[in-house]
Structure formats: C-alpha cells, structure tokens
Structure 1
Amino acid sequence: MSVRLPDQPITSRPAGAPGAPGTPPASRRAVRRPGRVGWEVAGLGGIARPRVLGVLAVVLAFAVAGLVASVSIGEFPIPAGDVFRALTGTGGADATLIVRELRLPRALTGLLVGFAFGLAGALMQAVTRNPLASPDLIGISAGASTGGVAAILIGGVTAAGAGSYASVPLGALVGALVAAGVIYTMAFRDGTITGFRFVLVGIGVQGALGALTSWLLARADINEASRAMVWLTGSLNGRGFEHARWAGLALLVTLPVVLALIRPYQLLQYGDDTARALGLPVDRARVALLLASVVLAGVATAAAGPIGFVALAAPQIARRLTGTANLPLLTSGCVGAALMLGADLAARLVLAPLELPVGVVTGAVGAPYLMWLLTRANRIGRAG
C-alpha cells in the first residue's frame, strides 16, 4: 500500500526507492521526496520545507531577542554587552546583581512558560482538530489553578516561592490531570471524540472549576487568599530560578515524548478513520499526546499563573507563518515564547513605573483574537 499526501499522485515505488522492500529504514537518513519542496526529517515522520525551517529560525531569533531585551531593558537600563559580561562574571557588581538575581530568572521563566503554553496549545488543537481547544479555554488551566490555589492555601506558600514552592506545581499538575480526565470521559462517546463536544464539555468543566476556586478563596484566611489572588492574576513578577527549573523540567520530560509521537500527531489531524486505516492505535496516541499537553499546561500555569490566550493564539500564528496544513510544533512553542516575553515587556513599559500583570496584556490582545476566531468559524459554517 502506498500512501501519499493529497497534492501528490499515487504511484508505485520502484525497488530501492524510499519505503520499498530492501531499502534501509527511513530513521537512518533524510530522504528527498520527488515533487516535494523539502526533506523528510529522519525519524520524525514530517516534511521539513525551507519555509518551515526559515520561519522557525526567525521566530526563534525573535524569542532570543525578547530574552535579551527583557534582561537589558528596565528602570536601570543595561546595554547588551554589559549583560553578557554580567553573565560571565566579568561585569560590575550592580549590573551582575540586577541581571543574575532579578531579571534573568524572570526572563527565563517567561521564555520556558511561553514555549510550554505554545506547545501545549498545538498538541491539544491538533489532536481535537479544533482551533478553540486551548488549555486556557476548556478547563485545563482552570484545573491547574484550582490545584495551585489549594496548594497555596494549604502549604502557606506564595507565588514568588516563599515556603515549599514544590507543592504549587504538584498541586497544579494534579488539578490539570483531574480536569483533563473528567473532560475526556464526558466527551468520549461512541468510541470517538469530536473536537466540538470536547470544547463544549471543557467550557462547562471550566465554569465548575472556577466556582470551586472562588469557594476556596472565600473560605480562606484573608492573607492566604491575597497570596493566591496574586498568583491567579498571571504574572512573571518576582519569579526565580525555581520557577524556571520546574518549567524546564516539564519540557525536558515531555518534548522527547512528543517528538517520538510526531507521526501519530500528524495523522490524527486528518481524522480518526484515516489514522486507523493507516494502522495507528488512535485512542492510545490521543491519550499520550493529550497527557503531554496537560503536563505542559499544568506546570506552566504553576510557574506563572493562569495566563490566557498564549496557548490559543501561538499555534494558529505559527501555522499561518509556515503555510502548512498541520500545526508546527516547535514553531508554535517559539511563537508562544516570543509572545510571552513581548507581553511581559509591554506590561513593564507601557504604564511605567506602574507594572501590569502579563495576564492582563495577553487577555487584552487575545480576547479580540478569540472573537475573530469565533466569527470566522461561524462564517464558514463550522464551529471550530
């Protein structure tokens, strides 16, 4: 059986051609496909076209530039050269203190959290085949928020890490997993899941979890509730290396798993029937990819709070930039990192010296985007 993408004619493969009997496994080489502008990435089951690689490089450069700007720009400006010297230990004492202790942990946290949100959004939207299936809209971030608030209230920790901060990401992860399990169970019907039902169930679960979070805050001591509310606004202020460490650990664990599942990730975007016809165990692949998305969203929420719309917008922006039918994973993560760092810079500079939570900026930008997405879905006659 020969499987071709829609824009290629179906032809038989001669002996010795890629995929023919007796040919070395594709994981050992990069293969140039006739009629395709690009190369099949060894072991990843995807096509790396020049435009995709170029966009990835440009977006990654923007993310790195945002990281440098976040460390350099502030009430006490530090030139990029002095930033490098401070990082290498050859700069002045004041610059070293500001860069290493104050700005670098915040910038690294924003970079890693943005990448995690972008990757989580791409996974969830691709698996459900619905651009509205974002962790912050369908209850995953709400579950992480409930778990994080419970950890803050019970453990007596703050968003900035006072106390045992490890309880916050663990609580957020448990809350996100429980919310995802409820959504998946309620949306699963007749042996399959549709993106529309997944989103509707998720919105309902999000409402219930929001009410539960409010109840926890109402029952808490005023000082504990204040600590939790600071975290719930979604901010990078006061973030330290412990927050970046947890976000980096989540990426270190999940990213290799996601790359190993890149072929199931691509096939699921063409529909369950097509994926099954090609021999894919659909249910297991979907659960594994959703689990990776939930872990990323939960730990990212624990590090910076429930920041909205980054996971929703980053995959769609990445797809439009690359011009691909599938959602590009790494590009989505880099777009999410660039969006997060850009929003944090805007939050610090627009009303300086007053500093806004980064969640306020992403919400102000993301809400009109969500309305446009809903309007577009309605205009073309499908709900997502």
Structure 2
Amino acid sequence: MKKERIQGMIALLVLTALTAVAKESSVYDEIWGTAAYENDEAAVLQKLAFVGRLQGDAYSFGGDSKHNEDLIWRRLRLGLKTQLFQDWLIHIEGDFDLNEIENWDAFNNRLTDSYIGWAPSAKVKMKVGKQSAGFTLDGATSSKKLIAPERSIVAGNLWFGTEYFTGSAVYGEVGNGSYKAGAYSSSGESGFGHFESGYFTLLSGGIKVGANSTLRLDYVFNDTDYDSRRGYGTSKLNHIAALVYKTQLNEKLGLWADIAGGIGNSDEGMSDLLGVDIMPFYNFTENLQLVLQYAGVTSLEGDVDVNMARYASRNVNRDKVETAHNLLLGFNWYLYGHKLKWQNAVEYNYGKNRAGSGDDYNGYGLTSALRISW
C-alpha cells in the first residue's frame, strides 16, 4: 500500500500543478524555461538543460472473458544535456520505474541516451555512445512525440523495442534529403553494451516529396549471437526494411504510414514478418487532434511469431499469434505541444492463431495517457 500511496501523491502533485498553470503559452514558456540555461554567445558552455519525461497510463482491456486494467507509470526519464564549444553535445539520461519505487535495483532501470555528439553542420552530425536506434515509423519517433499512446504493433514486431544501444552513427541533411548510418552492439544490457552478443547496422535515407511530404527507407542488417550469455536486445530477424511516408495534406489533415518486412533467422525458428501501419489524423485546432490508426502484422509462414498490442497481449498471457490486427481511434489534447498533452484512445485488437487451435483473440481496450516532457 505504501507504493500506491506514493504514486497517488506524485500523481496528485502533477495534476495540481497542471491545474494551476494558466493556458497562456507565455506561462508555459516561463515554467519550462526554468529547466535550461542557454547563452549562444558563450565561448564554452552554450546550453545546459535538465531533460526528461514523465508518462502515465490508465488502461482497461478486455476480451474473450479475460480482462485487465491498471493505473501505471509508463516512463520516468531524467538526465542532463549540454552543448559545448558550439559543435559538441553531451547527453546523459536514465530510465526509472516509478512502479518499483521501493526497490532501488528495480527502480533504477537502465541508461537511455548517454552519448557524445558532434555537429559541425546540418550536413554532418555524429553520435558515439548509447543512443536510440530508430527505424520504422513509430520506432524512429520519440515516445515524447507519438500521436497515439503507444507504438504500433508494426514497431512492436519489426523494430527493436530495447531502443537504446551502444554504438556510433553519422547523420544529416543534404538538400532535400536526409541520411543516417549507424553500427551498434546487439547487447540488451541496462548499462553500456558490449559486442559479445553481436552487432547490427542501420542505414536510412529520406527525401522530401513536394512541400509537405517525406519518404524514407530504413534497412537493418542484424548479426546477433543469440547464444551469448550476456543477453541481447534485438529481435530474431536478420534483415529488416521499412518504407515510411509522412504528409500534411493541409492545415487540418495529415497522414503517417509505413510498410515493413523482416526476414527471420531460420536457425532460431523465426519466420518472416510483414506489417503495415496507416495513421490519418485531423487537427481541429492547434490543441485538439483526432487520430485513426490501423496496424497489422502477419507471419508469412503462418507461424506463431507475432506480438499483439502492448496491453491486449496481457489478456493472452503475452502469447504470440499468427496474425495481429489493431484498430485505434484516438483523441489528443495538446496543452503545450508535445511537452504537455493528454492522449486518449479506444482500440480493437484481433489475434489469429493457427486454424483449428481455438485460440483467436477478440477484444477492446481504452487507454488514457498523460505525457510530460522537458
């Protein structure tokens, strides 16, 4: 009960603070501005910022006589980011589990962004250290800027949900295009990774299509040692490719979508996967947004290798299925852009298993999510 009381107190403090804040953007600017020091004219230190995010979910999912619901802290991340000598960046950040506040080892979850960056120009930027390895539509989108409460099942199956890996990357923008090339340890350790579990490489190239659209192709080659005693954080897919499209049709209507496929490691019994994610959205105002999302993933060999949506999977004891479908209707209220928003979604999940198994899943769910970042 002590943990629940502490969580309730923190939630009450957060909600009280949000209620006390006026709606004028200047007030939000003043509050968020206290987390950073900036001086572009300084010779050594141009920026020092306290960074992080606090995210909480209330969810209720049910189907096929099974039901689960809870109020949980989804993420707490705290860290520092500093800019030095104009071109250098140091970012150190950790992930903490507020649901395990009484146990330090469980509370102190892992390092996330912990790297040194160099950005002499927009065309060439580099990072060395632990960093996000983003690919697919949602996998390359920070959890701070998702327009649905959770990443889609396409990312859940074809991206590496560990997200943060030790390695190096070079990226930038040239003309109407963008690129990224990186090599990373496959290690899933909570601290800095090692290369005893193998490695993977990421190549990504994008281009602007018209004034308000972008098209990007991501490719990953994954050479993980699945027998390593040190553990791994990748999937059992050897090759992954994703085609990502984003467009803003007008001030109100936009569309994000991707199609992704992966070739499974046959030695590990993993089948090939194919997924598609289509997400149109409509902005009623700068603050109110409606989102519709369909995502589906299937095993091309008909094997039971597909993960369902995060909370729906808890109704099937996290068992995998042959094909998963997810249909979501969401409503977002942006109080201060992505830095302070309230996201709500109702969704339908269907999981198909082998013919005759009798283990198909049908269920509905509701998620209400608070997202704060600074």
Higher-RCO chain (CA-CA 8 Å, sequence separation at least 6)? 1
- Larger-Rg structure: 1
Which TM-score bucket, shorter chain as reference? under 0.3
The structure with the greater share of residues assigned to strand is 2
- How high is the TM-score relative to the length of structure 1? 0.22
The structure with the greater share of residues assigned to helix is 1
